[in-house]
Structure 1
Amino acid sequence: MLHHKLINPKSIAVIGASNNIHTPGGRVLKNLIDHNFKGKLVAVNPKETTVQNIKCFKNVSEIPNVDVAIIAITAKFTLETVQVLCREKNTKGFIIFSAGFSEKDAEGKKLEQQLVVEINKVGGTLLGPNNIGLINQNYAGVFTTPIPKLDAKGVDFISGSGATAVFIIETAKQTGLTFSSVYSVGNSAQIGVEEVLQHLDETFNSKTSSKVKLLYIESIENPQKLLKHATSLIQKGCKIAAIKAGSSSAGSRAASSHTGALVSSDVAVDALFKKAGIVRCYGRNELVTIASIFMNTELTGKNIAIITHAGGPAVMLTDALSKNGLNVPIIEGKESIELLEQLYEGSSVSNPIDFLATGNANQLSTIIDYCEHKFDNIDAMVVIFGSPGLFEVYDAYNVIDEKMRTCKKPIYAVLPSVVNVINEIDDFIAKGNRCFPDEVLFGEALGTIFNTPKPLKTTHSNFKVDEIKIRKIIKNAKNGYLEPQQVQALLTASKIPIVQQVICKTKQECIAEIEKIGFPAVMKVVGPIHKSDVGGIILNITSEEKMIVSFDTIMKIKGATSVLIQPMKKGIELFVGAKKESNFGHLVLCGLGGIYIEILKDMKASLVPVSKEESKTMIQQLKSYKIIQGIRNQEGVNELLFSEIIEKISNLVTIAPEIIELDLNPLLGNSKEIMAVDARIKIEKN
């Protein structure tokens, strides 16, 4: 929890204050003064007696008690300063701009940790070091510009990068997006993105708090905390969008299992965001666009009317909406004929509604009224209105402003003439509106929001398993891949269906066991991890002679210790896996199995625990879902059984967190049963 004095201080000391407003200490003091901090300001600078008309003290030991200290001095002097503030001045809030800490070297990290120890002793809160500060409706404690327009109904923004925060504020200013608060966490020595989000959750007031949260994250130190508080806020009616930087696969490591090769930290981030209901963004323009959409009336359907006086942008927007699952439905019937009669000749109302470059504000008003009251198949409107620069368009923008305030259906204003009608756009924004300069970016952002699922209530599996046996197997196993017998016992204890199998070291054992299994059979090598890569799987063995030949072939493979015999099963090849991904915990994956999981990489992942609803959604969101349903007279897969296996794997890795990689690949499925025919489990005990 952030200390209340950091959020709403009665007094602030700027350590390193300056008359030079082009320094951090000078600019932050100017920002505090210009943006009407109502409390007492204190300056500290050994060379000055007054700074920007504020009384200045030579040393921090001379100042009166203060709630918040903003520190803009060389890193090596910060510890002594913080010690005085903590021990003598009852200071509880600390914002440290200074660089030269953990981002620099080991000595800097040690100094940073010492700062945290001192501040923790007095129950204080530290933002930084190496950050730009904090802006809220009480004060502008940053050394940067611009200071965004502050509004209780604006967005709360938490950033792991000060520079990125500035760029996003600049981008937002152009669209009319306002802010309730901006937190820059810098090195996150004590408080990171997760802790600020926790504070926003635990202090949330449905009547007074902002309902839109934006995050820029460079590293997720506590995924479970982020998941918990993001989910909580969204369930309280908030909307959250986030950028997670550093998502490339350049750092991916080699893995010995299919699951290990497929899972990366970015897959884990995706799974976390989906589970929480966070809309994921990949750039600041997208983040600001999505935030601006959030600030509008919520879209409840997928049918969009495009109202325009320019054909090209409408066509591009139609494409962007359509490819993201939204509809631009045909508008027809007597009401559409009535509307067309009120527009200039050559206009079209079929959707997009094009009322031509000569269309006027009155016609625009009429079109919006028809979409609001008479076209029942329309859920929202996008108005694209620019200008060739021949005349002013205040009247049209005034219509959009009025209709946005009075219509129940969402209206989104795409105003692309950012040069020709900049004055009109500024006037539109000054009235409290938000607009979008690019119709394609807007369309894709609206689609991203539409396709981000709401957080599902997490439930634990009700399947009864032999937990005692599972723990016994894990306890007695060595680190690394489990033996086939251990895998079979573990899956059986977890109620996961597995094809009958036996392991044989001699031809005589094979002959004896095949009588129990029957033909046709499958023989697999035991030893090498990737059986198919070494030719270690032989299918459709239909006689004893073929079995003996197959045994000899398999045992010649390097690393072979024995053969595994199973009855030959038929069905669609499926895949379920699990992977422990650093501090995220376990992810469970599903998709088509066999070689398809590697070639198509069509899989869905979810963080454990995976509920029944989540497992069904994972299956239904696969690109290959139609194959699972059954196509062209091919028998499909029992989805209920498939989803149950996903749940059971989630349950297994919860009971046995030592499992770091698990593959069921393939599972063979049809409408009646799904059986694991190959399984691999790797464990790692501390």
Structure 2
Amino acid sequence: MINEKLFNPSGVVVVGGSDDVNKPGGAVLRNLLQSPFKGQTYVVNPKADSVQGVKSCHTVEELPQVDCAIIAIAAKYCLHAVEVLAKEKGTRAFVILSAGFGEENKEGAALERRIVEVIDSVGGALIGPNCTGILTTNYNGSFTSPVPQLDPKGVDFISGSGATAIFIVDNGMRKGLKFNSVWSVGNSAQIGVEEALEYLDESFDSEHSSRIKLLYIESINNPEKFLRHAASLIRKGCRIAAVKSGSSEAGGRAASSHTGALASPDIAVDALFRKAGIVRCSGREELTTVAGIFMYPELKGRNIAIVTHAGGPAVMLTDALSNGKLEVPHIEGPKAAELLGKLFPGSSVGNPIDFLATGTAEQLGYILDACENDFEEIDGIAVIFGSPGLFPIYDVYALLAEKIRTSKKPIFPIFPSYGWVKGEIEEFVRNGGVYFPDEVLFGNALAKVYNTPRVEPEDAQFPCVDVERIRSVINGAGNGYLSPDRIHDLLDAAGIARAKEGTADSEAECLELAREIGFPLVMKVVGPVHKSDVGGVVLNVRDEETVVREFRRMMQIKDTYAVMLAQQLRGTEVFIGAKREGGFGHIVMCGLGGIFIEVLKDVNVGLAPVSPDEARAMIRGLKSYKIIQGVRGQEPVNEEKFVEAVVRVSMLVRTAPEIFEMDLNPLLGNRDEVVAVDARIRIEK
């Protein structure tokens, strides 16, 4: 697996090196020779004695001992080269650029597996195959262009797609991003995104390691490892943003529960990222914008000052920030009046602070100093300054760069024009600046960064559940839906409050149960999936005569084999559900319950186990949260009891992974309690 020979080799051989720099073997050799690599470079080319000025061996057998091999030959020849290098030449790091492996056909996949076996047998590391290579501050082992500026404090970027990596690097370079490493993992035959994160985590050095990680992911093969190392890096002070493609996969499965209908693998990815503290981005433009924001000090509050010399972009940025739950607070008072006196007539300082197209570098300095020192309510400053087409603006960008370096508050530069001020922008970037070309994209990205939940501490506390009792119920159950009595056992063992209830399949038993529970009652059919659709729910049953009448009617409904009776409780209907989602484990959902879940689909999702803080954030993030708080005289739901129920459901499914999906819908919540009144649990072992 990953070792130091991959990052700091004493020698690198390019197998398939060529004089033709339009081919991968030629381009990677050129990039290697032009990189800071201090070690020995070798080439294997059967038809040439010298390639790009480097003496060439005709076969791998002729090579001396060499740490790292970059292979750019036809797939069918790769296994032989790997065997010789690994077993005879001491090679422990391999970068296979060649395609024609698992991405192509079964034969290619078999060849890929054999290569991995050989490399594993000597404790080697493999990047690829079918990749563009790896770029580090020690050497360039990729065949791509352009090559970004390298900086140990720059971005570590891991990509599951070589071409996408090129586009993202190119996009980031134009904004001023620098890179510490670029990994194109290709087929991820041995090293994928998870293994790369693991290495970055375990080798992290608080003084020397980069604190910014970008990911482009096409598949997450080991969610548990991914979460563990991503969360660990963020706890160490790193910031991570990621694009996970493939989010539009059709969830065309027949779902027998509300949870099943609302859940999907992409929702699980969302939950995974939130739990880890990763900012999820929708594309490469947003990813590099978020990376640019990461380059600046962290925004500590939601109040933003917008400094501009153009009205329209300021209005659009205000909209973007406001829609993202950030604030553009009004600025007024003596200090504001004092600042206004330093600007040209017609300027305004109310926020946005508009100092007109004729505004000068000196005036910008006054504004930034006031935002820094006089306006305590301001947490961050966005400066929109393009070209008014009147004069060069080198002095403006130079002053802005200086203020960015010295300000305690983050200052984000937005440069909306390029052609007319190309020289000014290039100088800003050469001097280490990172800028944002679009105010709306920046505003949306800043809001996304600010609103991404913080990673949970490692020592988060969870309530205890009766593990032995839960396992006893699960071990004794077969696949399919559990009977009500077994559901009751599970809920009781997990400490989830439930209504007094029972089931009856005879009239006499139904009457006896009604007397035991007490009136008023709720009666529901047992059997049909959507009870209310078939007239299978009756509320406010207050006497034995109604019990008998409704029992007889309900038993005539198709698929009904019994009737459930439960105490009728008062409160707002809420919902908690859970579903097993492949390697992600269980996702846990909550929201308003009853019919509202079908109509509004207003749910939030977490990945089990869900801590109390996570559950609280899920509940408070609901669009319907004000209903839970109580509006217009309506009794509120006890939020802490709701939180506890969500957490306990997550502990139940962690203890019983055989639970495929479960619904508590509804639970009734009032100011005193949150109690489950209906539940479905399906087992798949």
Cα 1:285–1:13 shift into 2, 3 Å: same
Give, in whole Å, the separation in 2 of the partners of 1:360 and 1:352: 17
Give, in whole Å, the separation in 2 of the partners of 1:122 and 1:225: 24
Give, in whole Å, the separation in 2 of the partners of 1:643 and 1:463: 12
Instruction: Measure how far apart 1:391 and its partner are.
Output: 2.3
Counterpart secondary structure, 1:314: helix
1:523 matched residue in structure 2 = 523
Give, in whole Å, the separation in 1 of the partners of 2:500 and 2:112: 59
Give, in whole Å, the separation in 1 of the partners of 2:230 and 2:178: 21
Instruction: Measure how far apart 1:249 and its partner are.
Output: 4.2
Matches within 5 A, 1:290-305: 290-305=290-305
2:513 matched residue in structure 1 = 513
Kindly indicate whether residue 268 of structure 2 is the aligned counterpart of residue 268 of structure 1: yes
Counterpart secondary structure, 1:172: helix
2:321 matched residue in structure 1 = 321
Please list every run of 5 or more consecutive structure 1 residues that lacks an aligned counterpart in the other structure.
Answer: none
Kindly indicate whether residue 531 of structure 2 is the aligned counterpart of residue 539 of structure 1: no
Give, in whole Å, the separation in 2 of the partners of 1:669 and 1:343: 57
Instruction: Measure how far apart 1:47 and its partner are.
Output: 0.9
Kindly indicate whether residue 660 of structure 2 is the aligned counterpart of residue 660 of structure 1: yes
1:590 matched residue in structure 2 = 590
The code of the aligned residue for 2:389 comes to: G
Counterpart secondary structure, 1:318: helix
Give, in whole Å, the separation in 2 of the partners of 1:461 and 1:344: 58
Give, in whole Å, the separation in 2 of the partners of 1:671 and 1:155: 49
The code of the aligned residue for 2:605 comes to: A
Instruction: Measure how far apart 1:192 and its partner are.
Output: 0.3
Aligned residues of 1:252 and 1:264 also touching (Cα < 8 A):
no
More displaced, 379-388 or 513-522?
513-522
2:402 matched residue in structure 1 = 402
Kindly indicate whether residue 396 of structure 2 is the aligned counterpart of residue 414 of structure 1: no
Counterpart secondary structure, 2:141: strand
Give, in whole Å, the separation in 1 of the partners of 2:468 and 2:342: 77
1:222 matched residue in structure 2 = 222
2:126 matched residue in structure 1 = 126
Aligned residues of 1:458 and 1:611 also touching (Cα < 8 A):
no
1:92 matched residue in structure 2 = 92
Aligned residues of 2:36 and 2:137 also touching (Cα < 8 A):
no
Give, in whole Å, the separation in 2 of the partners of 1:59 and 1:90: 16
Matched residue count = 685
Kindly indicate whether residue 243 of structure 2 is the aligned counterpart of residue 243 of structure 1: yes
More displaced, 47-56 or 507-516?
507-516
Aligned residues of 1:461 and 1:651 also touching (Cα < 8 A):
no
Kindly indicate whether residue 18 of structure 2 is the aligned counterpart of residue 18 of structure 1: yes
Kindly indicate whether residue 463 of structure 2 is the aligned counterpart of residue 483 of structure 1: no
Matches within 5 A, 1:278-677: 278-459=278-459, 463-677=463-677
The code of the aligned residue for 1:372 comes to: E
1:508-551 CA distance string (max 9 Å, x none): 22222222223322211112233223332222223333322322
Instruction: Measure how far apart 1:135 and its partner are.
Output: 0.3
Percent identity of the aligned residues?
A: 57
Instruction: Measure how far apart 1:132 and its partner are.
Output: 0.3
Aligned residues of 2:504 and 2:510 also touching (Cα < 8 A):
yes
Counterpart secondary structure, 1:103: coil
Counterpart secondary structure, 2:20: coil
Counterpart secondary structure, 1:224: helix
TM-score by length of 1: 0.98
Instruction: Measure how far apart 1:423 and its partner are.
Output: 0.9
Instruction: Measure how far apart 1:566 and its partner are.
Output: 1.4
The code of the aligned residue for 1:277 comes to: G
Cα 1:462–1:86 shift into 2, 3 Å: closer
Counterpart secondary structure, 2:399: helix
The code of the aligned residue for 2:666 comes to: P
Instruction: Measure how far apart 1:567 and its partner are.
Output: 2.1
The code of the aligned residue for 2:672 comes to: K
The code of the aligned residue for 2:636 comes to: G
Cα 1:461–1:173 shift into 2, 3 Å: closer
Superposition RMSD on alpha carbons, in Å?
A: 1.3
Aligned residues of 2:462 and 2:611 also touching (Cα < 8 A):
no
Aligned residues of 2:462 and 2:612 also touching (Cα < 8 A):
no
Give, in whole Å, the separation in 2 of the partners of 1:668 and 1:406: 54
Give, in whole Å, the separation in 2 of the partners of 1:493 and 1:354: 62
The code of the aligned residue for 1:198 comes to: E
Give, in whole Å, the separation in 2 of the partners of 1:460 and 1:656: 20
Aligned residues of 2:102 and 2:112 also touching (Cα < 8 A):
yes
1:144-174 CA distance string (max 9 Å, x none): 1011110111110000010110000110111
Counterpart secondary structure, 1:228: helix
Counterpart secondary structure, 2:134: strand
TM-score by length of 2: 0.98
Cα 1:365–1:463 shift into 2, 3 Å: closer
The code of the aligned residue for 1:556 comes to: Q
Aligned residues of 1:37 and 1:139 also touching (Cα < 8 A):
yes
Aligned residues of 2:484 and 2:502 also touching (Cα < 8 A):
no
Aligned residues of 1:460 and 1:610 also touching (Cα < 8 A):
no
Instruction: Measure how far apart 1:622 and its partner are.
Output: 1.3
2:5 matched residue in structure 1 = 5
Counterpart secondary structure, 1:56: strand
Kindly indicate whether residue 25 of structure 2 is the aligned counterpart of residue 31 of structure 1: no
Counterpart secondary structure, 1:496: coil
1:297-343 CA distance string (max 9 Å, x none): 22112211111111111111111111111111111111111111111
2:108 matched residue in structure 1 = 108
Cα 1:68–1:446 shift into 2, 3 Å: same
Instruction: Measure how far apart 1:103 and its partner are.
Output: 0.8
Cα 1:582–1:512 shift into 2, 3 Å: same
Instruction: Measure how far apart 1:81 and its partner are.
Output: 0.9
The code of the aligned residue for 1:535 comes to: G
The code of the aligned residue for 1:570 comes to: R
Please list every run of 5 or more consecutive structure 2 residues that lacks an aligned counterpart in the other structure.
Answer: none
Give, in whole Å, the separation in 2 of the partners of 1:124 and 1:310: 57
Give, in whole Å, the separation in 2 of the partners of 1:366 and 1:578: 55
